Amino acid sequence: MHGIGTAMDIEKHGTDAGEVVIIRGELDLTNARQLTDVLGSSNAQTVILDLSELAFLDSAGIRAIDGVRRSMEANGRHLLIVAPPESRAGWTFRVAGLADGTVLESMDVADELAASGDTDG
């Protein structure tokens, strides 16, 4: 999928522990709604959002992700956000003050949490 404006690619696939959504390209004001729609359409108990390959993330993207995370949690579901420290998204989350406890460092950590069912940290 590509948004109108900034290019963003979204790949989804199921796993035994839930669903994985991988975002590539740029996530910003021009396509944040597209991500919200994709994440909102998932029925999985746990969704892993992999931002490892994201080239750009702005405040609109962070707001969209955080809004979906809060909505899912209010419904007893979980959004695990993966943004390795060395990635663009990891840097952006750190600058925004959201990295501690909200963002996971790797897919391995997210997979382990999702498989164990210990998604509350």
Above 90 in pLDDT, residue 87?
yes
- Encode burial over 27-43: b for 16+ CB neighbours within 10 A, e otherwise: bbebbbebbbebbeebe
Assign 12 a pLDDT band (cuts: 50, 70, 90): very high
pTM: 0.88
Query: Is residue 81 in a domain?
Result: yes
Q: Which residues contact 43 (CB under 8 A, 6 or more apart)?
A: none
pLDDT, the chain, mean: 88
Mean pLDDT along residues 10-39: 93
What CATH number did the domain enclosing 66 receive?
A: 3.30.750.24
Q: Specify the number of domains making up the chain.
A: 1
Domain-embedded: residue 2 = no
Residue 1 has pLDDT above 60, yes or no: no
The residues near 118 (Cβ < 8 Å, ≥ 6 apart) are none
68 touches 42 (CB < 8 A)? no
